[in-house]
């Protein structure tokens, strides 16, 4: 975890760990290597960092100093920072800051979350070390936060994870605020789940992991005493998702005329003269309603609150805006999409809260509350994203390999695509589907190839590898569809998406070809003999 100077979710960081004894004659070579690596990283990957780990000293001895001092400072001077070993004492952050001078934020004091000799004990007291580090104005390097998962902390991973990171926030604060720029989009995906949805329709129903699919995560506040709140809030993987595999689920009890609010995001978004649009998807039960509360501030006008309410209500003191309801796809039952525009020139959006409340007048007397927030988008336009037509892409199939597995034909290949115009746009995400077209469907529909589109994965570059795809025996061709997805969460209509079509090799044709060659093969063998 870096100090505020380097706080970012996207900085490429290389930690250089040389835990060996070296002949002192090799130290000049090592320094030359560290310097060259740092310079090359900067030129090749702008914004990247090379961090030296506190290990071998300037005399070639493997000796962890647990602070920045003259023994390891020469390596610090030619890199972007130092990761100080975990066994430091209370005064070491201050001593390191003195040695670093103007570069004190480039000193990262190590904390081992497993608590193996680390200051403060790590684990559920990791915040003890963080508070000392923050007081002395250096940075922190948190090692092995997977401790929560690896040691199966009760009561469950999601609850324990939220509890642990709340300790970090309380002692360290929030160093990365978002949204800062537009468009801003989050479907609360953590890169894992039990299903995947696209525009409200579930396309995959098995467990999966893909860290590249993560989006911005909400700043949910953890409350130690669960009895003090009426609504449980969590990033959830079981309830239906609108896009990806995540969502925020709100579940509990709520009396009529009352509300429950929780923070989603802390931002630094300066608004201009043009309106900005908030679009969000909700699925709820009964008379449960879910809205958004926006907190804005201006140096001249002070603070202001806006409440985006999907149903008319007079129970809130802040200004209420009624979103318009957007059309949702037919295959997204239960999902409601809301959109509202605001024009607050010169204001900064500082916080976004979710607000749970009940529809008025009451349609039932129950106090049960349940709602799911699927995604949220903030943009400068209400228009749908315009994607390049399928004809503007060049799509190729490479390394095509046919095989068999348990009696079924299989296919492996690489699919790649690029804009026909080399200056054409590239996108952050592509959903990949396959249509397995049978001879019967082609014959019956005369070219209108209607069949089941099977989701097979996601790509974050312009290539996708298919491995041992099982092909039904009556399949005559395969159509691989690349659904283009924009940074604002929009997905291209599948009928307009680029694709790669491949005829399936017929085993009958292969055998005919083989037997057709036999006479020539026999003649050649006889002639050779």
pLDDT 10s digits, 339-364: 999 999 999 999 999 999 998 766 66
Task: Tell how strand 319-321 and strand 302-308 pair up.
Answer: parallel
Per-residue model confidence (pLDDT) at position 384: 87
Q: SS3 string of 479-524?
A: EEEEEEECCCCCECCHHHCCEEEEECCCHHHHHHHHHHHHHHHHHH
pTM of the model: 0.84
pLDDT of residue 514: 38
Rounded CA separation 195/243 (Å)? 10
pLDDT of 438: 87
Please report which residue ranges of 389-506 form alpha helices under DSSP H.
439-445
Closest CA to 62 of 108, 16, 26, 22: 22
pLDDT tens by residue, the chain, 529 residues: 433 333 334 578 889 999 999 999 999 999 999 999 999 999 999 999 999 999 999 999 999 999 999 999 999 999 999 999 999 999 999 999 999 999 999 999 999 999 999 999 999 999 999 999 999 999 999 999 999 999 999 999 988 998 999 999 989 988 789 999 999 999 999 999 999 999 999 999 999 999 999 999 999 888 776 566 789 999 999 999 999 999 999 999 998 888 999 999 999 999 999 999 999 999 999 999 999 999 999 999 999 999 998 765 666 767 889 999 999 888 899 999 999 999 999 999 999 999 999 987 666 677 999 999 999 999 999 888 999 999 999 999 999 999 999 999 999 999 999 999 988 888 999 999 999 998 765 554 444 445 689 999 999 999 999 999 999 999 999 999 999 999 999 999 999 999 999 999 765 444 333 344 444 444 444 444 4
Q: Looking at residue 425, what is its pLDDT? A: 82
Residue 378 CB coordination number (10 Å): 24
Q: Is 136 within 8 Å of 93 (Cβ atoms)?
A: yes
How many CA within 13 A on the CB side of residue 181? 1
> Which candidate, 503, 495, 429, 509, places its Cα nearest to that of 462?
429
CA distance 417 to 395: 4
Residue 510 CA to its chain's centroid (Å) = 45
Domain with CATH 2.60.40.10 in the chain: 390-511
- What is the distance between the alpha carbons of residues 77 and 38, in angstroms, rounded to a whole number? 11
Q: What is the pLDDT of residue 528?
A: 44
Q: Are strands 393-405 and 408-419 parallel, antiparallel or unpaired?
A: antiparallel
Q: In DSSP terms, which residues pair with 338 in a beta bridge?
A: 280, 325
What are the distances in angstroms from CA 438 to CA 14, 413, 524?
A: 50, 20, 39
Closest CA to 364 of 255, 486, 260, 457: 255
pLDDT for res 257: 85
Least Cα distance to 282 among 316, 252, 237, 248 occurs for 248
- Tell whether the torsion through CA atoms of 176, 164, 112 and 12 is positive or negative: negative
**What region, left, alpha or beta, does residue 384 occupy, with left being phi > 0 and alpha being psi -120 to 50 degrees?**
beta
Burial of 87 (0-12, 13-18, 19+ CB in 10 A): middle
The CATH number for 13-172, chosen from 2.60.40.10, 3.20.20.80, 2.40.10.220, 3.30.2350.10, is: 3.20.20.80
User: How far is Cα of residue 70 from the mean position of the Cα atoms in its chain?
Assistant: 40
Looking at the chain, which residues constitute the CATH 3.20.20.80 domain(s)? Answer: 13-172
117 CB neighbour count, 10 Å cutoff: 13
By C-alpha distance, which of 167, 156, 262 is closest to 219? 262
Q: Which residues 6+ apart lie within 8 Å of 461 measured at CB?
A: none
CATH of segment(s) 390-511: 2.60.40.10
184-379 in CATH: which number? 2.60.120.260
């Amino acid at each position: 975890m870096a100090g505020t100077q380097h706080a970012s979710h996207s900085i490429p960081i290389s930690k250089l760990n040389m835990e060996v004894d070296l002949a002192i004659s090799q130290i000049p070579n090592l320094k030359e290597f560290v310097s060259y690596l740092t310079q090359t990283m900067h030129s090749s990957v702008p914004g990247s960092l090379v961090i030296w780990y506190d290990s071998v000293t300037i005399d070639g001895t493997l000796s962890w100093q647990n602070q920045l001092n003259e023994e390891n400072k020469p390596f610090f001077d030619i890199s972007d920072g130092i990761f100080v070993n975990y066994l430091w004492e209370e005064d070491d952050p201050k001593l390191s800051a003195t040695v670093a001078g103007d570069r004190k934020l480039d000193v990262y004091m190590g904390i081992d979350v497993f608590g193996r000799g680390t200051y403060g004990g790590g684990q559920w007291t990791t915040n003890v070390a963080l508070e000392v580090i923050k007081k002395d104005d250096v940075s922190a390097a948190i090692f092995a936060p997977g401790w929560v998962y690896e040691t199966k902390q009760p009561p469950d991973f999601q609850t324990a994870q939220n509890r642990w990171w709340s300790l970090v926030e309380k002692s360290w604060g929030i160093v990365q605020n978002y949204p800062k720029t537009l468009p801003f989009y989050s479907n609360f995906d953590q890169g894992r789940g039990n299903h995947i949805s696209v525009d409200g329709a579930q396309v995959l129903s098995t467990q999966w992991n893909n860290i590249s699919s993560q989006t911005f995560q909400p700043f949910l506040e953890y409350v130690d005493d669960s009895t003090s709140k009426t609504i449980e809030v969590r990033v959830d993987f079981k309830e239906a998702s609108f896009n990806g595999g995540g969502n925020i689920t709100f579940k509990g009890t709520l009396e009529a005329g009352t509300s429950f609010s929780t923070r989603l995001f802390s931002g630094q978004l300066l608004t201009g003269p043009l309106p900005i649009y908030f679009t969000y998807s909700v699925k709820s039960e009964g008379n449960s309603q879910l809205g958004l509360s926006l907190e804005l501030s201006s140096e001249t006008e002070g603070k202001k609150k806006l409440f985006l309410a999907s149903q008319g209500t007079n129970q809130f003191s802040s200004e209420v805006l009624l979103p318009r309801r957007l059309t949702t796809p037919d295959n997204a039952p239960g999902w409601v999409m809301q959109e509202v525009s605001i024009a607050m020139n010169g204001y900064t959006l500082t916080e976004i809260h979710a607000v749970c409340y009940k529809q008025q007048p009451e349609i039932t007397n129950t106090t049960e509350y349940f709602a799911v927030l699927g995604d949220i988008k903030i943009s400068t336009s209400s228009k749908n994203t315009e994607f390049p037509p399928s004809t503007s892409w060049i799509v190729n199939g490479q390394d095509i390999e046919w095989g068999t597995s348990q009696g079924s034909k299989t296919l492996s290949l690489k699919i790649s695509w690029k804009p026909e115009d080399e200056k054409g746009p590239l996108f952050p995400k592509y959903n990949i589907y396959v249509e397995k077209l049978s001879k019967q469907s082609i014959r019956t529909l005369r070219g209108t190839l209607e069949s089941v589109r099977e989701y097979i994965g996601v790509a974050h570059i312009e290539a996708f590898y298919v491995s041992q795809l099982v092909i039904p025996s009556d399949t005559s061709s395969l159509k691989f569809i690349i659904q283009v997805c924009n940074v604002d969460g929009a997905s291209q209509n599948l009928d307009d998406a680029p694709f790669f079509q491949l005829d399936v090799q017929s085993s009958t044709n292969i055998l005919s070809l083989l037997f057709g060659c036999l006479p020539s093969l026999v003649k050649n063998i006889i002639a050779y003999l």
